[in-house]
Amino acid sequence: MAQNAAEQLTVEQTNEAAQIAQPKQQPIHTPVPTTLPNKITWSKFEKVLVSGCSLVLTCMMIMLVATKISVTNTQHQLQNVNANITKVGSSNTSTRQVINELTSQSHLEKVAQKMA
C-alpha cells in the first residue's frame, strides 16, 4: 500500500510537470502581422515631370482667368457701344422727323405767307 501511494505521488508530479512544460494553445485565427510599406523615392525624371506639369497647369489656370477677365471687359465695351449706337439712332430719328416737319408742304406755305 505504501508503494501504491508513492507511485501515485510521482505520477501526479510528472503530470503536473508535463502540464507546465506544455506550450500554451494557439488561437485558431492568428493575426497577420502588418508591415509598413517601404517609402518609394522619386527619380529625377519623375520630379522634373511633376514639376513641369504643375508649372504648365498653373500657367494655364492663370491664362484662363486672364482670358475670362478680358472677355468680360470686352462685353462691357460692346454694351457701351451698343448703347451709344441706340442713342445716336434715336437722335437721328428725331432729327429726321424735325427735318421732315420743316420741309413739309404746310410748313413751307406758312413760312412763305409770313415773308410775303
Query: CA-CA distance, 34 to 53, in Å (whole number)?
Result: 35
CB-side exposure of 40: number of CA atoms within 13 Å? Answer: 5
Q: What is the value of pTM for the model shown?
A: 0.51
What per-residue confidence (pLDDT) applies to 20? 56
Query: CA-CA distance, 92 to 78, in Å (whole number)?
Result: 21
Task: Kindly report, residue by residue over 33-92, the tens digit of the pLDDT.
Answer: 777 778 888 999 999 999 999 999 999 999 999 999 999 999 999 999 999 999 999 999
**C-alpha grid cell for residue 74?**
470686352
Q: Which of 6-10, 76-80, 90-94, 97-101 has the lowest mean pLDDT?
A: 6-10
Query: CA-CA distance, 85 to 59, in Å (whole number)?
Result: 38
